Amino acid sequence: MPRYAIATEDDEIKTSARTVAATEFHDSDESLFEQVAWLYAFCRERLFRDDTERMIATLWRNGGPLPGTQLIELGCGPGFYSRRLAERFQHISVIGVDRSENQLLWARQRAAACELRNCSFERVNVLDLPCADRCFDVLIASRLFTVLPERNRAVAEMYRVLKSGGRCFIAEPRYMFWASIPLFAMWLLASMTHSGNGYREPRKATVFSASAFEKVFAAHPWKRVKIWQDGRYQYALCEKD
């Protein structure tokens, strides 16, 4: 059964999010995001670009989301975007999923401090989302592919869980140098404080050229895919038929 540290109490909102069950992970203790969770949360909240307004303007061009909109964030880390969107739009239901329990702990604590009742976080593998097909209206993922080699499988899951007419917004860094700085700092700190055995993310981030980024989405029959670059980031907006 799903666990929810922060569950919505509004019975009117029968969330798809509630049907996302937790996943068992066997190697995630060795993840940098687990070992030095605070360092990533610091980078996310203080150093990285905040794309909240860009997401809102891109996803909801005619104003905001409709009441009852179901939104999922894949690889939510400390839950920065899930919390911001849930706070801004209290009539939607948001779930952030990640493999790192320590990132989720951070996310849940911050959401609880803001008394967010429409936002929950679950430990889930984004490559095998434990939820039905077509249950989310909106999906977001930020900086996920920088650390996730199985991006085709992740995009297949994105496509599967989106409803018809659903949209996903993806944000990825463009330059390996800038994207690798936080990973390298985490790797360095984890090397000093934890044993080096087992799974670790690479020291260098993976980044895509514009054409490679476009190809990531090509395997699925999206109604529309828009790709664009802005400074150190690139974005994709994909709409399902």
Ligand X SMILES: C[S@@+](CC[C@H](N)C(=O)[O-])C[C@H]1O[C@@H](n2cnc3c(N)ncnc32)[C@H](O)[C@@H]1O
Instruction: Tell me, letter by letter, the H, E, C secondary structure of the chain.
Output: CCCCCCCCCCCCCCCHHHHCCCCCCCCHHHCHHHHCHHHHHHHHHHHCCCCHHHHHHHHCCCCCCCCCCEEEEECCCCCHHHHHHHHHCCCCEEEEEECCHHHHHHHHHHHHHCCCCCEEEEECCCCCCCCCCCCEEEEEEECCCCCCCCHHHHHHHHHHHEEEEEEEEEEEECCHHHHHHHHHHHHHHHHHHCCCCCCCCCCCCCCCCHHHHHHHCCCCCCCEEEEEEECCEEEEEEECC
Positions that interact with ligand X (CB under 6 A): 31, 33, 44, 75-77, 80, 98-100, 103, 125-127, 142-144, 146-148
Nearer to ligand X, 65 or 75 (CB): 75
Nearer residue to ligand X within complex by CB, 10 or 30: 30
Min CB(190)–ligand X separation in Å: 13
Shortest distance in whole angstroms from residue 109 CB to ligand X: 15
CB of 8 or CB of 100, closer to ligand X: 100
Which of 13/237 has CB closer to ligand X? 237
Q: Which residue is nearest to ligand X (CB)?
A: 77
CB of 11 to ligand X, least distance (A): 29
- For the bound state, the minimum distance from the C-beta of residue 168 to ligand X, rounded and expressed in Å, comes to 13
